[in-house]
Amino acid sequence: MFQDIVDQYGVPTYQEANPALFTIVTFPFFFGMMFGDMGHGSIYMILGLILVMFKNCLRGTALEGLESMRYFILLCGFMATYCGLVYNEFFALPTQIFGSCYDLENREMLYEKYMYKRTSFDCNVAFGTDPVWGVSRNKLTFVNNIKMKMSVIFGIAHMTMGILVKGTNCIYNGHWLEFFTEVIAGLAILLGLFGWMDALIIAKWFHSIDIFDPVNGHIEN
């Protein structure tokens, strides 16, 4: 199945590095980033488990055509469920599996808008997104910001891996002119521009910001 996905974009030639090996991990993960939801992802994962565990029983049935896709469906469902935990969404609803750093029971009125108080400035949710964002008015602003930055980081990492695979092909076949003009130059441009941007994004994540500081604003509901 993963080889079929690669062949749609280009068939690897003889003795060329086959990117289908990396696609086994990268394609389901990118699918999970786009389809991240614990509820929908778990349904997809359960379907994959059924196809894997009962593949012999499904022969001759309407699901026989999905037999070759069983591991593909299972991995995509697993990654979608995992990313759903990161996004803290269960059928598009927030959960409190890992608690919250805000007092969700009590809220205060400020400037004719509700505001949730943070229990501690040093508090961090053990895993995923704080459920308070699911009830805030600026949820989309926050969530889309996180997803966009994650997409940029993993997208640049994926493109870098592709260039490195091409570099191994150039070295193996002795195409040194192509290696320096396309691989080395491509890495310098990609990492020099977008790689530096990714480094700034990650560095900013390590900088703690007190959202109740008047300069940074506050969470609205």
Mean pLDDT along residues 134-162: 87
CB 170 within 8 A of CB 179: yes
Q: Cα 19 from chain centroid?
A: 20
Domain boundary among 87, 111, 143: 87
Nearest in space to 83 (alpha carbons), one of 44, 136, 132: 44
Residue 180, in any domain of the structure: yes
Determine the pLDDT at residue 82.
94
Residue 117, in any domain of the structure: yes
User: Same domain, yes or no, for 107 and 13?
Assistant: no
CB 112 within 8 A of CB 70: no
What domain range is 186 assigned to?
102-205
Residue 92, in any domain of the structure: no
Two structure tokens written together for 109: 């009125």
Residue 220, in any domain of the structure: no
Residue 211, in any domain of the structure: no
Mean pLDDT along residues 152-176: 92
Residue 41 pLDDT > 60, yes or no? yes
Residue 190, in any domain of the structure: yes
Distances (CA, A) of 27 to 16, 18, 145, 159: 20, 14, 22, 13
Residue 51, in any domain of the structure: yes
Two structure tokens written together for 64: 């026989």
pTM (2 decimals)? 0.80
Q: What is the DSSP letter of 8?
A: T
pLDDT band at 119 (very low <50, low <70, confident <90, very high): confident
Residue 3 pLDDT > 90, yes or no? no
Two structure tokens written together for 185: 């130059």
Instruction: Find the range with the poorest average confidence among 34-38, 46-50, 142-146, 176-180.
Output: 142-146
User: Same domain, yes or no, for 114 and 171?
Assistant: yes
